[in-house]
Amino acid sequence: MNKTKHIFAIIFLLLIVGLIYYFKGGYTAVKENRSANTGLKVGVILPLSGDLAQLGEEVQKGIELGVEEARKNGYKIDVIYGDDKSNFGADSVSEANKLIHINKVDVVLTLFAEEAKPIIPIVSKSRVPLLVLWDSNRFITEAGPYVFSNGFSTEKAAIKMADYAFNELEKRKIAIVGHIDPWVEIAVESFKKQFIGHGGQITFEEIVPVTTDDYRTTITKLKQTDFDAVYFPLIPPSTAQFLIQAKQLGINTTLLTGDLIPSVVDEAKTSAENVYTTNIFTDEDDALNQKYKDFFGTEIGDSTLVSFGYDGIDSIIKAKNKDSESLATGFLLLYGKKHSADKEERLYQVQKGEQVLIEK
């Protein structure tokens, strides 16, 4: 009898061990499978119409290229696009609500801080991660646990321009014209702190609505002050109007800005000549260019903007691989406490209609 009990005890123990092994192995297999193959719904909010449509379309091509690359590597990604019509307000909110509450996306991508600002409360309440592709600054990185950036630091760009203005261009008195905008606010604050810290002076400052397209009153007031350069971080496309009107009203001094886009240079023509700017960039990536040509059958347009979309998809995959259960945790592991890639822009000068790298 005791022998029989002993045999049953051994069998029972082996059964328990087997069940534990089975379920543990099964869970691991499911988790690994989710990491590699579970489909992701990606919501994308871009300016696909309106003044900034050209930028949005290039980023969209990069996203499509990134999704194709992911598919080849065994990942299933469905992308649903929303068009904010270059209107960073009601349209951004409407698209975010649709993507999150109707389409049930797992993550949202957007391009600018201006697009991110009105939708941060929506993604935060829904606990859906938001990845900003172009801008990175205090506004984004302090926006909460569900907001991240794969972009370029606004603060670093403004500090770099202040250093260059004081140390290389030997400017001592700066006038500032900016927009009421989170990106501009941080750029101006960072520039002023750095420039004044060097011993320079800010002799004029005027911040106007983003909708402004007539700067003549501001420029007239500016001309009545003492300055040897103007720092004007403005949101396109009205940047071109500022440049044109500044030249018409006789502003012939050194002009400094940030994130100057090609369409503004094209529109402003000679009025943009010799302007200094910090700007985004991508290292020459022959592999990306070839992938683009193979997929779309044409030469790449703006490789930097295309890389934003392509790298955005790559970042989602990396976050997924770091934590298959939570993209927000995966992004945190990917970017760290800053919630950002925190890239640094380079210095350029417009020469003969082209932005030429001047950074040493």
- Tokens 């822009």 correspond to what residue? 345
Residues 236 and 218 in one domain: yes
Tell me if 210 sits within 8 A of 241, measured CB to CB: no
Residues 256 and 291 in one domain: no
Task: Please tell me the predicted confidence (pLDDT) of residue 20.
Answer: 40
Provide the domain count of the chain: 2
Residues 146 and 295 in one domain: yes
The residue range of the domain holding 245 is 155-279
Task: Please tell me the predicted confidence (pLDDT) of residue 26.
Answer: 34
For the chain, 360 residues long, give each residue's pLDDT as a single digit of tens.
444 444 444 444 444 444 443 333 332 322 323 334 458 999 999 999 998 999 999 999 999 999 999 999 999 999 999 999 998 889 999 999 999 999 999 999 999 988 999 999 999 999 999 999 999 999 888 999 999 999 999 999 999 999 999 999 999 999 999 999 989 999 999 999 999 999 999 999 999 999 999 999 999 999 999 999 999 999 998 899 999 999 999 999 999 999 999 999 999 999 999 999 999 998 867 888 999 999 999 999 899 999 999 999 999 999 999 998 999 999 999 999 999 999 999 999 999 999 999 986
Tell me if 225 sits within 8 A of 203, measured CB to CB: yes
Residue 265, domain CATH: 3.40.50.2300
Residues 197 and 263 in one domain: yes
**Contacts with 349 (C-beta within 8 Å, 6 or more apart), sequence order:** 274, 275, 276, 277, 355, 356, 358
Task: Please tell me the predicted confidence (pLDDT) of residue 38.
Answer: 55
Residues 63 and 132 in one domain: yes
Q: Which amino acid is located at 63 in the chain?
A: I
What is the phi/psi pair of residue 320, to 5°? -60, -40
CA-to-CA separations, 52 to 112, 236, 263, in angstroms, rounded: 11, 8, 9
Residues 43 and 133 in one domain: yes
> With the CA atoms of 207, 209, 214 and 217 taken in that order, what torsion angle do they form, in degrees rounded to the nearest 10?
-40
Q: Decide which of 263, 279, 295 is a domain's last residue.
A: 279
Residues 207 and 262 in one domain: yes
Task: Please tell me the predicted confidence (pLDDT) of residue 287.
Answer: 86
